Amino acid sequence: MTDIGYRCGWVAIMGPPNAGKSTLMNALLGQKITIVTPRPQTTRNQITGILTAFDSQIIFMDTPGLTQMRGRLNKTMIQAVWQSIGQANVIMPVLDAYLYIRHPEFLERDFAPVAEALASDDRPMIAVANKIDLFGNKTRMLPLLSGLQELWPKVEIFPASALTREGLSDLVALVRSRLPQSPAIFPEDQISTAPLRFMVSEIIREKIFLYMRQEVPYGAAVEIEQWEEYPESEQTIVHAVIYVARPMHKIMLIGRGGSGIKQIGSEARRDILELVEGKVHLELWVKVRERWTEDQTFLRELARQAEPV
């Protein structure tokens, strides 16, 4: 029998930091929605990516990396993961296959707690063994696949590469087949529920992750303070504040003669132009806000920026 019913549902992309969750979501969408960097713990909120086709609408949720780390910021990140899992029709753990080939001992540490927490959950679970482009001999993956299957019997395991897109069209077909029959939830041209301003603040944060060394990015948060659109001159004026955790970080971020902040600003502006029509005038300020990662009120304020409009 052919399946003609329209399908729609939510898919929680989750897993350890640096597994390639955000890269995978962008690749599945064919568009950059969520930021990607080589460093762990880049993503801090749930960010949706909506893939609409003639027969289905898949609402992916990118989430922060699941860790055992302490502190309030980490706690809010972990909450965002579990909230996304709670909302999902399909749960999609992503793992760096190359990491566990080299370090099989990490598999249990990273997946036993979540497998256990979801042991009595009947929702479909599709584990993406990502980064298969990093090793030629695919049989190297066999111990990992059997190890994961033993640890988490409910998951269907799907090898893929978010970077080279190997396996992704079959992955979409598999995800689609596991979704409930339902009409679309969002208009067909909507790609995310994330507010544009939040996406802009994320782009700035991405550049801080890319250009700032040591712990500076982990103590940095970005807030859009002002956003003015001038349709006559086709110009958008954006004022953003970069909060840093220490006075030293401010000095590092600004750089000699302002070169650091200038680079972050111009790289961010280039990406922002892909999202915002017309000209963009971006002003960045750096403010020190010590211990903000423990400040519940401020963390809530940041989380609000990411909420759907």
Ligand X SMILES: Nc1nc2c(ncn2[C@@H]2O[C@H](COP(=O)(O)OP(=O)(O)OP(=O)(O)O)[C@@H](O)[C@H]2O)c(=O)[nH]1
If DSSP codes are grouped into helix, strand and coil, which group holds residue 34? coil
Give exposure, 214-236, as e/b (b: 16+ Cβ within 10 Å): eebbbbbbbbbeeeeeeeeeeeb
Helix (H, G, I), strand (E, B) or coil at 145: helix
Longest Cα–Cα distance of the chain, Å, equals 68
Report which DSSP code applies to 44. Answer: -
Distance CA 23, CA 13 (A): 11
Q: Per rule CB under 6 A, is residue 17 in the interface with ligand X?
A: yes
Q: How many Cα atoms are found within 13 Å in the side-chain-facing hemisphere of 164?
A: 11
Which of 10, 13, 16, 22 touches Mg ion (CB under 5 A)? 22
78 near ligand X (CB under 6 A): no
- The residue from 48, 161, 193, 293 that contacts ligand X (CB under 6 A) is 161
CB of residue 135 to ligand X, shortest distance in Å: 10
Candidates 16-24, 210-218, 283-291, 296-304: pick the segment binding ligand X (CB under 6 A): 16-24
Residues 31-90, interacting with Mg ion (CB under 5 A): 42-43
- The yes or no reply on residue 41 touching ligand X (CB under 6 A) is yes
Q: How far is the CB of 151 from Mg ion (least distance, A)?
A: 23
Check whether 63 is labelled as a binding-site residue.
Answer: yes
**Distance from C-alpha of 260 to C-alpha of 254, rounded to nearest angstrom:** 5
Q: Which listed residue (23, 193, 201, 293) binds ligand X by CB under 6 A?
A: 23
- 3-class DSSP assignment, residue 295: coil
Residues 169-208 that bind ligand X (CB under 6 A): none
**Least Å distance between CB 60 and ligand X?**
12
Looking at 2, 38, 70, 139, which residue binds ligand X (CB under 6 A)?
A: 38
Contact pick of 11, 12, 19, 306 for ligand X (by CB under 6 A) = 19
Q: Any binding-site annotation on 187?
A: no
Q: Check: CB of residue 232 under 8 Å from CB of residue 241.
A: no
Angstrom distances, CA of residue 35 to CA of 61, 141, 144 = 13, 28, 28
**Rounded Cα–Cα distance for residues 308 and 206 (Å):** 20
Q: Does 43 bind ligand X (CB under 6 A)?
A: yes
Say whether residue 133 binds ligand X (CB under 6 A): yes
Q: Which residues bind ligand X (CB under 6 A)?
A: 17-23, 36-38, 40-43, 64-65, 130-131, 133-134, 161-163
Q: Which residues bind Mg ion (CB under 5 A)?
A: 21-22, 42-43
